[in-house]
Amino acid sequence: MSLRKVIPLNTAAKIPQIGLGTCSEPTEVEQAVEVAVRNGYRHLDLALIYHNQDEVRRALKKVIPSVVSREELFITSKLWNTSHQPQIVEAELDETLNQLGLSYLDLYLVHWPVAFVSGNDLSPVKSDGSEVELDTETSLVDTWKAMIKLLDTGKVKAIGVSNFTIAHLQGIIDHTGVVPAVNQIEIHPLLPQDDLVAYCKEKGIHITAYSPLGNNNFGIPMLTENAVVQEVAGKLGATPAQVLIAWGAYRGHSIIPKSVNEGRIISNFKQIELSKEDYEKVSSIGVGNVRRYNIPVTYKPKCNINIFDEEVEKSASTQVKIV
């Protein structure tokens, strides 16, 4: 069973350390969420762009209040790129709440530091279909100010960001004085992001780690197949996924592995703890072998913007508009 650890946020709320990621096929999420909650998960990570929040609503109806009360769950969702314009931020939150059948979220995140042109199409593309159409006028500060106003509505308990770098975070903090509660970012042994982690710790920003097991969309072996990870798993009588989740937990992150497989959902929640020696052994696989999987400039259609300053982004024609 999970160690059921919770981590305090800078709002005094507590986020359960292990959550269920729901970036999965819409037809599979209803059962996954129900299985997760029935087996002890209390942290659910959602997003409008996953196109499955109506399925999550159906799952929640099956477990609230028969299994848990609403107050026992920590539910996160995210503002999508087409709603960064300040005048429509609250309307998208309302749409998410409507899809979920909820009156409030525990945490609402700005999904990406990237604004798309607004409209009904969540991936608006240029006429030739090659690139997403960016809104280069709306800044991160503009959007963050609108997010701050949501705190007075009672519809969100906390606000945060996702995929933000140090520069993005410093910009919104400097211009509003409001520190995000959470920065949800890609973190795993091949992408420890130590500088960003240290910055967030200094500012009191909690980190939620997505893609903790790596990514299987690139035709390369998953981190669960790594020999070092498997060696540590064998030593501890654990699964490789449990080892990778424990690696993130050792660092103090909350972790949101995604799965729609009942056995893996249950297994991922059975926390183990790593010794310093085992943590360092797993960390060693990223030395000289850094790999970021989630870079929008590589998407199709292309999102022509430099977010992380990775080599593949340096030819992008647009920079993130912070202010």
Catalytic residue among 41, 50, 108, 279, which? 50
In angstroms, what is the C-alpha Rg of the chain? 19
* Cα(187)–Cα(212) distance, integer angstroms: 6
In our burial notation (b when 16+ CB lie closer than 10 A, e otherwise), range 255-279 reads bbbbbbeeebbbbbbbbbebeeebb
8, amino acid identity: P
Report the alpha-carbon distance of residue 35 to residue 274 in Å, rounded. Answer: 26
Distance CA 295, CA 112 (A): 11
Residues ≥6 apart with Cβ < 8 Å to 305: 114, 134, 296, 297, 313, 316, 317, 318, 319, 320
Instruction: Pull the structure tokens for residue 206.
Output: 């909690």
Q: How many residues does the chain have?
A: 323
50 is catalytic: yes
- Give catalytic residues, as residue numbers: 50
